[in-house]
Structure 1
Amino acid sequence: AYNLSTASIYNWLNRGWLPFELADLPNRNIRQCRVNEHRGTFTSGTSIEQRPTIVNQRLAFGHWEVDTVLSGRKASRACLVTFVERKTRLLWAIKAPNRTAKALNSAFEKFMGTFGSQVKSITVDHGKEFADYQSIEQDYQIKVYFCHPYSPWERGSNEYFNRRLRWFFPKKTNFGQVTTDEILAALELINQRPLKIHHQQTAIESFRACSD
């Protein structure tokens, strides 16, 4: 029998040869499926099944995963809207007063003001904060793809880097009291870490190389 080494599995993951991602590997004490999620959802939009293979395999630059990171229960309605570029793994985050479509669109406007032409598509879930996705598509001429319900592994990079943000902002954090400077400081530390998938290059270095 042929014994497949751990190194081979990681190499195949890094090259996009397996139907899941390095960030999807199970972490201790991390629930992989949010079966008790009760927030509102909707069902329209373009399925992730229609996302091009070149995006799925991280060969194309400018395709982002988007999610929200919440304040502690009863602490505040404020949250972070998080963005991860799939090829380079650059993480960005913008504070929003709540998780409504209006607040999401406002945060996205700020995001586009920073990254602009470096955004070609986003992949999100069916939470109601993304219900006004058609405005995003029309205003910025980008494509919005939607994951299947209860499938966080389809935004594996976003899930992974959201957990890295939790190093700085634990689950009881009140984001209403977190400053922009504190968010930017956390992002810099995360994005400046050497990544094995980039041969020890940082996400910022990789992003800049793709942007040139």
Structure 2
Amino acid sequence: MAAHLRTRWPDHPERHLCHETIYRALYQGAKGGLSRTLTRKLRTGRPLRKKRRRSDQRMPRFVAPAVLIDRRPPVIELRERLGDWEGDLVVGARSQSAVATLVDRRTRYLRLVPLPDRHSAGQLRDALIAALSKLPQQARRSLTWDQGSEMSRHHELAPYFTDGIFFARPGSPWERGTNENTNGLIRQYLPKRTNLSLHTADDLCVIEQRLNNRPGKTLSWQTPAQAFTAALAL
């Protein structure tokens, strides 16, 4: 909107607004602002702005030291090999339910890991171990996650990856861009503010198959399933 105003009336600065002015009008409410019902029209649907902590002021969450993303082997950045995964939680209403997502950086192959009984560090560890045990060793090289407390037992998962586990910097989701983009697709099937525990393992398998059989431009119009199978055969 702010850019559109400048483009449409370039010679009338009195009609220009910066984006922060628009947000303040929405969130300020009755005190000289717009109707608070308009916040429902925002993509986030968020009624209030959340105050963000600075990343350097966040308390450490892990007993075992986390290895940051800048210490990953350079080969991971190249997307030339199978088995370098990015992971995260897709969380439901009031953070009461969640599904873990794993995406292979090279092939964009997706694994959805059900967490029917909450998503504590121990429960996530057990669920990921069960999922990882079904993958061949050549498909388990590294994992990159954010610094959520659910990964506080990451040291117990590290033996399942030949190159270990790495963590993005706090407040830097773009450092796991493949996973973030895939989570956006997953949200079409697992919407925010819903109870994700209602989705059974079979339901998640159906979603997996749909996304793994979706051709992608980055894969030269192969599907992730085709790319994953081809990479395993190398």
Name whichever structure is richer in strand by fraction. Answer: 1
Choose from 106, 116, 122 the match for 1:102.
122
Structure 2 match to 1:111:
131
Partner deviation per Cα, 1:68-98 (whole Å, 9 max, x = no partner):
011112xx72210100000000111111122
Structure 2 match to 1:126:
147
Over the aligned positions, Cα root-mean-square deviation in angstroms equals: 2.4
TM-score (norm 1): 0.78
Matched, 1:71 2:99: no
In our comparison, the structure showing a higher alpha carbon Rg is 2
Choose from 156, 159, 170 the match for 2:180.
159
Where in structure 2 are the equivalents of 1:158-197 lying within 5 Å? 158-197=179-218
**Kept after mapping to 1: 8 A contact 2:132/2:160:** no
> How far apart are the structure 2 equivalents of 1:142 and 1:78?
30
**Kept after mapping to 2: 8 A contact 1:122/1:143:** yes
Identity of paired residues, percent? Answer: 29
Structure 1: where are the runs of 5+ without partners? 1-27
**Kept after mapping to 1: 8 A contact 2:79/2:106:** yes
**Kept after mapping to 2: 8 A contact 1:59/1:87:** yes
Structure 1 runs of 4+ with >3 Å offset? 34-41, 138-142
Shift of 1:116: 3.7
- Counterpart residue identity of residue 61, structure 2: F
Structure number with the bigger relative contact order (C-alpha 8 A, sep ≥ 6) is 1
Shift of 1:41: 5.2
Partner deviation per Cα, 1:6-45 (whole Å, 9 max, x = no partner):
xxxxxxxxxxxxxxxxxxxxxx947xxx974899752621
Shift of 1:125: 1.1
Where in structure 2 are the equivalents of 1:1-212 lying within 5 Å? 29=43, 36=52, 42=61, 44-73=65-94, 77-96=96-115, 97-117=117-137, 118-138=139-159, 141-212=162-233
> How far apart are the structure 2 equivalents of 1:178 and 1:42?
29
Relative distance call for 1:187 and 1:168 in structure 2 (3 A) is same
Aligned length: 180
Shift of 1:99: 2.3
TM-score (norm 2): 0.71
